[in-house]
């Protein structure tokens, strides 16, 4: 908002909530940058520009449009130039391709205090931009054009696969945000809030989800939209994008639930170790090995698989450290962990639980395993796979 705008905004708030101010009055004061990521959207560029032009006239909306194009070479650059709109420009990107990266670059370049992100293929209704900005000016930190709130919808042409896909993705992101449609690529936020984002590192398509988590937004509004299927051009949502989404989710979970994510992954790896142990043991048994050999093989192979999986997933930040040192300290930690397990179980069995009560041995053993696992986790997290800090010379 301009200086004047901010002032008028305040005095108006004293008498009536901002939402009730006439649309035109809000737009006199609000300058918007609309960022549109594009890849081979030459057919859609003139269409979306003409819709935005209509909106500028009808609602007095002062906006610039930034097409962030990943070097499509399909005439997109010419299409923007030929439109003759001085408020529209196209930026051709040649490095770090990708929808999310393009949007972030666009937000950096944007000149105005309010940022809007939307697709080029007219899936997102241009007419809803005022509603997004209105909700933003009434105090929300971010406003999303949502398919999944009352009044919102997806195109009837959406196949079952795409619908299911979108629903599953939304479900998986539930622990990160209670927003109904965090997968939407249509949203508005303030430039000043965007600047507060911490270590943005999106992969794939879900830029709104990345911003929700990394900006720690609490007040997020959702405005219902009717999501339409693209008419021209092709969707770029591929299987590889889906896999990227899983990777992206894992990163966001780690960001949000840092310490408990290490533990959860460590426990999952531990459970997988049990399966590996049993499978190896059975294999050796079938091959005719003696019990002592089979048991030892089960333990050795599962220790190796646990080590590799923990290094690759649970404590992936330590993947660049010396693997031999890590492996030896992992074995050492496991041995101490086993001793802790043994000592705790024995102590409970002999002095806390009555040794002759039913299942006392099993209960003691369970506590032993829990203590040993706890020890192993701490030893792995802070010793075997410790973070290496780079000392900055003074
Ligand atoms: N710069 C750039 N680079 N733009 C891209 C890229 C890329 O690699 N891939 C896609 N885009 C642009 C497209 O040109 C389009 O304007 C927009 O990003 C969305 O791409 P689509 O291919 O139309 O995606 P979609 O329809 O499958 O996905 C939409 O729905 C999802 C939710 O279901 C988008 O709105 C997503 O943002 C949204 O998450
Ligand atoms: Mn689309």
Residues 181 and 276 in one domain: no
Number of the ligand closest to the Cα of 234:
1
Q: Are residues 25 and 140 in the same domain?
A: yes
The domain that holds 31 is classified in CATH as: 3.90.550.10
In Å, the largest CA–CA distance within the chain is 90
List, edge to edge, every strand of the sheet that includes 62-69: 88-92, 62-69, 31-38, 114-117, 187-190, 142-146, 220-224
Residue 75 maps to a domain: yes
Same domain (yes/no): 288, 244: no
Q: Is 360 within the bounds of a domain? A: yes
Q: Give me the percent of the chain exceeding a pLDDT of 90.
A: 66
**Token reading at 324:** 């031999």
pLDDT tens track for 222-247? 999 999 888 777 777 678 888 899 99
Atom of ligand 1 nearest to the CA of 234: 22
Which ligand gives the minimal distance to the CA of 67? Answer: 1
Tell me the pLDDT band of 22, cut-offs 50, 70 and 90.
low
- List pLDDT tens digits, range 139-179: 899 999 999 999 999 876 767 877 888 888 899 999 999 99
Read off φ and ψ for residue 174, nearest 5 degrees.
Answer: -55, -45
Residue 210 CB–ligand 1 contact under 6 Å: no
Q: Is 68 in the pocket of ligand 1 (CB under 6 A)?
A: yes
Report which protein residue has its CA nearest ligand 1's atom 8. Answer: 98
Which pLDDT score, from 0 to 100, does residue 24 have?
57
Q: Are residues 126 and 186 in the same domain?
A: yes
Give the atom of ligand 1 at the shortest distance from the alpha carbon of 98.
Answer: 8
> Are 198 and 312 within one domain?
no
Boundary-marking domain end, from 227, 256, 285: 256
393 domain-assigned: no
In a domain, residue 389? The reply is no
* Residue 390 pLDDT exceeds 80: no
pTM score, whole prediction: 0.72
244 and 277 in a single domain? The answer is: no
**CB of 154 closer than 6 A to ligand 1?**
no
Residue 4 is assigned to a structural domain of this protein:
no
pLDDT at 98 over 90: yes
Whether residue 279 sits in one domain with residue 216: no
- Reported in sequence order, the residue ranges of the chain that DSSP labels E, i.e. its strands, are 31-38, 62-69, 88-92, 114-117, 142-146, 153-154, 187-190, 220-224, 226-227
In a domain, 391, yes or no: no
**What separation in Å is there between the alpha carbon of 114 and the centre of ligand 2?**
23
**Residue 230, ligand 1, Cβ within 6 A:** yes
Helix axes 207-214, 99-109, angle to 10 degrees: 60
User: Does 223 contact ligand 1 (Cβ within 6 A)?
Assistant: no
Q: Identify which of 38, 94, 96 to mutate to test ligand 1's pocket (most ligand atoms within 8 A of the CB).
A: 38
Q: Mark whether 46 and 123 lie in a shared domain.
A: yes
Which is the closest atom of ligand 1 to the Cα of 44?
16
Count of domains forming the chain: 2
Of 232, 256, 280, which residue is a domain's last?
Answer: 256
**In-domain check, residue 1:** no
The neighbouring-strand residues paired with 68 are 37, 91
Whether 394 is in a domain gets the answer: no
Ligand 1 near 253 CB (within 6 A): no
For residue 39, how far is its CA from the centre of ligand 2 (angstroms)? 11
- Same domain for 378 and 270: yes
State in Å: Cα 286 to ligand 1 middle: 53
- State the Rg of the chain over Cα: 28
Q: Cα–Cα distance between 3 and 208 in angstroms, integer?
A: 29
End position of a domain, from candidates 207, 226, 256:
256
Same domain, 251 and 226: yes
Residue 117, domain extent? 11-256
pLDDT higher than 80, residue 38: yes
Give the ligand whose atoms come closest to the C-alpha of residue 117.
1
- Which ligand 1 atom minimizes the distance to the CA of 237? 27
Phi, psi of 86 (to 5 degrees): -75, -15
Six-digit token string for 316: 């992936």
Residue nearest to atom 14 of ligand 1 (CA): 38
Q: Do 276 and 376 share a domain, yes or no?
A: yes
Same domain, 248 and 271: no
Q: Token pair for residue 342?
A: 């043994």
């Amino acid at each position: 908002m301009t200086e004047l705008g901010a002032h008028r905004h305040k005095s108006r708030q004293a008498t009536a909530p901002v939402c009730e101010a006439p649309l035109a009055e809000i737009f006199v004061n609000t300058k918007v940058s609309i960022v549109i990521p594009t890849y081979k959207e030459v057919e859609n560029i003139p269409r979306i520009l003409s819709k935005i032009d209509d909106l500028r006239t009808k609602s007095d909306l002062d906006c610039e449009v930034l097409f962030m194009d990943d070097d499509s070479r399909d005439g997109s650059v010419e299409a923007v130039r030929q439109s003759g709109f001085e408020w529209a420009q196209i930026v051709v990107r040649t490095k770090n391709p990708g929808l999310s990266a393009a949007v972030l670059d666009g937000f950096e370049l944007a000149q105005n205090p309010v940022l809007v992100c939307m697709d080029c293929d007219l899936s997102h209704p241009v007419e809803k931009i005022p509603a997004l900005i209105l909700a933003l000016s009434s105090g929300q930190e971010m406003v999303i054009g949502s398919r999944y709130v009352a009044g919102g919808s997806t195109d009837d042409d959406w196949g079952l696969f795409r619908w299911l896909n979108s629903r599953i993705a939304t479900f998986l992101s539930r622990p990160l945000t209670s927003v109904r449609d965090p997968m939407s690529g249509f949203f508005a936020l303030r430039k000043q809030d965007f600047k507060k984002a911490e270590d943005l590192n999106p992969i794939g398509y879900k830029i709104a989800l990345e911003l929700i988590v990394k900006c720690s937004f609490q007040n997020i509004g959702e405005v219902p939209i009717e999501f339409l299927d693209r008419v021209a051009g092709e969707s770029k949502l591929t299987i590889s994008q889906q896999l990227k989404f899983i990777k992206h989710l894992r990163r966001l979970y780690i960001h949000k639930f840092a310490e408990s994510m290490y533990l959860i992954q460590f426990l999952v790896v531990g459970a997988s170790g049990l399966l590996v142990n049993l499978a190896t043991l059975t294999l050796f048994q079938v091959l005719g090995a003696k019990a002592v050999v089979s048991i030892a093989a089960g333990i050795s192979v599962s220790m190796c698989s646990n080590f590799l999986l923990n290094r690759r997933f649970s404590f992936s930040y330590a993947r660049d450290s010396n693997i031999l040192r890590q492996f030896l300290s992992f074995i050492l930690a496991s041995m101490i962990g086993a001793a802790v397990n043994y000592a705790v179980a024995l102590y409970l069995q002999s002095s806390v639980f009555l040794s002759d009560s039913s299942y006392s041995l099993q209960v003691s053993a369970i506590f032993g395993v829990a203590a040993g696992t706890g020890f192993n986790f701490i030893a792995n997290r802070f010793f075997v796979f410790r973070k290496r800090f780079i000392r900055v010379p003074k």
